[in-house]
Structure 1
Amino acid sequence: MSDTPADRLARATPPTLARKVRGLSDRTIAWIFVAPTILLLLAINIFPLIWTIRLSFTNYRANRPNEPVEWVGLRNYERILTDPDIWQTMQATAHFLFWTLVLQVLIGFTLAWLINRKFRGNDLMTTLIVIPMMLSPAVVGNFWTFLYQPQIGLINYAVEFVTGIPASSFTMLGSVTLAPWAIVIVDTWMWTPFVMLICLAGLRSIPDYIYEAAEVDRASKWRQFWTMTVPMVLPFLMLAVLFRGIENFKMFDLVVLLTGGGPGDTTLLSSIELKREAFEKWRTGYSSAYAIILFVTVFGLASIYVKALNKVKER
């Protein structure tokens, strides 16, 4: 008689239970294994979402749990959508999203194209480039805050070299005009390697025989790039934009570490405003409505973008 772990488990199983298990279909057994995961997702994701939707129609305040909760209907949504300060934060978020995505795509794709040429030291260069992506946002925020210091910050001296403005007379993080760009620079430095890796995967998925056939047809390098490389890498590039767009829309920790949400409203992103409403002003019902509006905005834009991505993949 064999004595494998499976055999020992079979002998240890009570006969009545064994008969019941043998009577179950494969579909039922599959649901038994999947059910705990579904219940966990419902508990962690679905229930909080439903609860947030319910709170968004009330004037509930988390710091006053014993006060009566009043049903206010759509009043919170109306106040949010007609508040000019909210639209100002949306504008700051859109500015941050646009420039970070543009810079990360351009620089990330360029780096991927250069690394894909397989020069000497290729692996070492790739490792060095991806280091910023491995760091914690807290480390990156503190590191770049030091670089932006007016007395010893290297960035200020670089600006002084280019513009002639004394480095000790200003700080980028304290300037209403330059603070948003300071955040864009840090996020681009940190997450461009992510875009580069996805683009590199796309470039290396292109078969070599396609380029060999193009050379036989005497197609120039420039024509190969625009008619072969870019179209075949475009789905990977769009996927990177989708991931980075969703993450940057939720950007919070890095901005707070660098600027604390200031100066003014130029770096006040939607996520920071949501945190202020929920945990500083304690307007829980109002902030719940704000969170639902942000969720619908991200979900709607992402759905449209995914449809466009699928059309590009089908070409």
Structure 2
Amino acid sequence: MSDTPLTKAAEATPPTVARKIRGLSDRAIAWIFVGPTIFLLLAINIFPLIWTINLSFTNYRANRTNRAVEYIGTRNYERILNDSDIWLSMQATAHFLIWTIIFQVLIGFTLAWLINRKFKGNDLWTTIIVLPMMLSPAVVGNFWTFLYQPQIGLFNYVIAFFTGADPSSFQMLGSVDLAPWSIVIVDTWMWTPFVMLICLAGLRSIPDYIYEAAEVDRASKLRQFFTITIPMVLPFLMLAVLFRGIENFKMFDLVVQLTGGGPGSTTEVASINLKREAFEKWRTGYASAFAIILFVTVFGLASIYVKALNKVKER
């Protein structure tokens, strides 16, 4: 017993330290371990948030450090809410957010339902489907930019094969109407496996005896699907929507890689507009106010959504 690691550690502890540890309560020991983490969270998250809120009420510009900083009240917020370019970027963000979630939920749940059938080669196909989400957004952006090239893009040749049109006539990234949809396609391709994995976890958490009881009651497969499968997977599905909604709301890297997100374009989402105000126009106070508005929007919508999710779980 004396040779166990715990005994050796206790024997190696200096007597004065051992007496102090024995005199601490469980709560004090817990705070010793949790304290550094809380300190890091305050330093990395809370302090920058408070500083950003402070800057949002000023005319501060990061490229003019010698200029006197003036507090201008809520003027930055008023300008943002009355800026038509901001509202256009929010519309582009909403378009991207809604359609990617719809496609990812439909395709992801369908793939999860098929894989849950446990057919031959199930594990191999699961691995292949999950591969896109393991790639870097920069790699994915460059890869799909090549596919969207109007002259040599493979994507255009696929469309031409089914339509019989000239491949060079398709300009996905150069077209005002098709550019937003090109981003939706890429994001759906990349993150549908994430939704599929969460839905698959929900499907495999359903006990088999529930379906056996339904078969005894002569419930059809369709009825089992809508009365057992959908209700029991719904919390998992809503959780996937929450994660993807938050991520897609602040999407930046993939849009820049594919289209550049130029000013006034239909792909200028809110995060790109924020970057332009902060690091191209150097309107730091204005950009801080915009960041706070985006934060409040995401936090508010997520809070409402979490309450709805909790109600679904309680059923």
User: Scaled by the length of structure 1, what TM-score is found?
Assistant: 0.96
User: Does the 8 A contact of 2:85 with 2:264 survive in 1?
Assistant: no
Structure-1 residue corresponding to 2:239: 239
Aligned length: 315
Which whole-Å CA distance do the structure 2 matches of 1:133 and 1:233 have between them? Answer: 22
User: Does the 8 A contact of 1:132 with 1:189 survive in 2?
Assistant: yes
Q: Does 1:268 align with 2:268?
A: yes
Amino acid corresponding to residue 295 of structure 2 in structure 1:
F
Segments of 4+ moved more than 6 angstroms? none
Amino acid corresponding to residue 192 of structure 1 in structure 2:
T
Gaps of 5+ in 2: none
Which whole-Å CA distance do the structure 1 matches of 2:196 and 2:29 have between them? Answer: 42
> Is the partner of 1:172 in helix, strand or coil?
coil
Structure-1 residue corresponding to 2:134: 134
User: Does the 8 A contact of 2:199 with 2:236 survive in 1?
Assistant: yes
Amino acid corresponding to residue 23 of structure 1 in structure 2:
G
User: Does the 8 A contact of 1:88 with 1:265 survive in 2?
Assistant: no
Structure-2 residue corresponding to 1:203: 203
Which whole-Å CA distance do the structure 1 matches of 2:226 and 2:10 have between them? Answer: 62
Q: Does 1:281 align with 2:281?
A: yes
Amino acid corresponding to residue 89 of structure 2 in structure 1:
T
Q: Percent identity, aligned pairs only? A: 83
Which whole-Å CA distance do the structure 1 matches of 2:118 and 2:296 have between them? Answer: 43
Residues 8 and 205 (structure 1), Cα distance of their counterparts in 2 relative to 1, 3 Å cut: closer
Which whole-Å CA distance do the structure 1 matches of 2:7 and 2:133 have between them? Answer: 48
Structure-1 residue corresponding to 2:222: 222
User: What displacement does 1:26 show?
Assistant: 1.2
> Is the partner of 2:281 in helix, strand or coil?
coil
Residues 122 and 6 (structure 1), Cα distance of their counterparts in 2 relative to 1, 3 Å cut: closer
Structure-2 residue corresponding to 1:255: 255
Amino acid corresponding to residue 299 of structure 2 in structure 1:
F
Q: Deviations over 1:32-77 (max 9, x none)?
A: 1111111011111111100110011111111111211111110000
Which whole-Å CA distance do the structure 2 matches of 1:281 and 1:230 have between them? Answer: 49
Which whole-Å CA distance do the structure 1 matches of 2:3 and 2:219 have between them? Answer: 66
User: Does the 8 A contact of 1:176 with 1:264 survive in 2?
Assistant: no
| Residue correspondence of structure 1 range 1-315 to structure 2 within 5 A | 2-163=2-163, 165-262=165-262, 264-315=264-315
User: What displacement does 1:12 show?
Assistant: 4.1
Gaps of 5+ in 1: none
Which whole-Å CA distance do the structure 1 matches of 2:82 and 2:111 have between them? Answer: 43
Which whole-Å CA distance do the structure 2 matches of 1:261 and 1:4 have between them? Answer: 61
User: Scaled by the length of structure 2, what TM-score is found?
Assistant: 0.96
Q: CA RMSD in A?
A: 1.5
Residues 3 and 111 (structure 1), Cα distance of their counterparts in 2 relative to 1, 3 Å cut: closer
Which whole-Å CA distance do the structure 2 matches of 1:281 and 1:65 have between them? Answer: 15
